[in-house]
Structure 1
């Protein structure tokens, strides 16, 4: 079985005096071009797991693999590069910089990675925004566009470095039903057109049912 992302026996504890066992023996994987959702009640460990899977939290036991390469134990510098190059992020709150233009926001991760010239990055960003029907907003400040538009700009930003995996933490959680459906369809289309793998934490059971596979968490364990 070829996994883009795989965990082996991940455990996470919070606190020193009386440690609280947040994640227990997590074995899971995301296959290439698979849209996987994670569901569970508040406090079940979803966000904690997502931060470990995205390499942002390194304080755990067990092993995390990306494209069959062990990333557990790598330096912060190495992890930062892996995150920037291989993983795109979409959060519930888009975290756009309000005083920057839409174009500047999308270009930021690619400028940080610094593999392409600024001219090439700008060209790629405009191309992405056009494909996401946001070409008319290129020069607008991020503070001046609607919530649904902001979330699509966040998707463009997540895609600028051509990641192999897109991770979403409640990406539709802050949107009305119309924009939520639009974003979901956009993610599904990206999976099919770009061969992306997607991993999304959601509270929306209807959306989860339409993904390829749902992982259910309860009290820090995968129950199905």
Structure 2
């Protein structure tokens, strides 16, 4: 079975104001259907690593493979398409367009990918909202719903193109314990019912402890879990 994601000897440098070696020889694989968390103190390189793994940052040494395809060195347009097809991303902040309806927000990545008709995309978007038990919010403006609901809408949006992997950068960081637990249960269900692979950066030890594997980072290295 093809590995969903593989990093081989990833090194990353920041060059300003002085050169800083932020990621050091990172190698690991993410198999299909695994729920993995990345933990470590602030500044250890967790989010930097996630942005490289998501193909949004291409300034690194080493090699990155997505579904068996080498993505290192690909053109920006090719990376954008690969990202749209294979990677869903959930941030700490939801980044919804407040004047758009919930339904329109969820539809946006599929409209950008342009592989389906508007009717098909709308149908898929409603399915995703139904999966997350928020279909009743479809026609509300994003500005009219609660913080916990916004994060669920952001998850629905990340799922609209049926990605191979869902990545999260502190997806529960702005949520109370009730809504954090909701998000965890949604992620767990997606893995169990749809076989989705998940890779989540988190500071929440309780969240991480219940994932399949913890990659623990320190000073730019994975010290445990790979």
Name the TM-score, length of structure 2 as normaliser: 0.97
- Alignment partner, residue 165 of structure 1: 165
Q: What is the match of residue 134 of structure 1?
A: 134
RMSD: 1.0
Residue equivalent to 1:70: 70
Quick one: distance in 2 between partners of 1:16 and 1:150? Answer: 36
Over residues 60-92 of structure 1, what are the superposed CA-to-partner deviations in whole Å (9 max), with x where a residue is unaligned? 000000111100000000000001010000000
Q: Which secondary structure state, in structure 2, belongs to the residue aligned with residue 80 of structure 1?
A: helix
- Shift of residue 130 of structure 1? 1.6
Alignment of 1:102 onto 2:97? no
The equivalent of 2:156 in structure 1 is: 156
DSSP 3-state at the match of 1:63: strand
Provide runs of 4+ in structure 1 moved above 4 Å: none
1:43 corresponds to which residue?
43
**Structure 2 partner of 1:144:** 144
Verify: 1:26 aligned to 2:26, yes or no: yes
Q: Tell me how far 1:16 sits from its aligned partner.
A: 5.7
Alignment partners' CA distance in 2, 1:201 and 1:163: 18
After superposition, give the CA deviation of every residue in 1:83-105 in whole Å (9 maximum; x if it has no partner).
10100000000000000000000
SS of the aligned residue for 1:57 comes to: coil
Cα deviation 1:178-199 (Å, max 9, x = unaligned)? 0000110011001111110000
Cα distance, 1:18 vs structure 2: 3.4
Other-structure match for 2:208 = 208
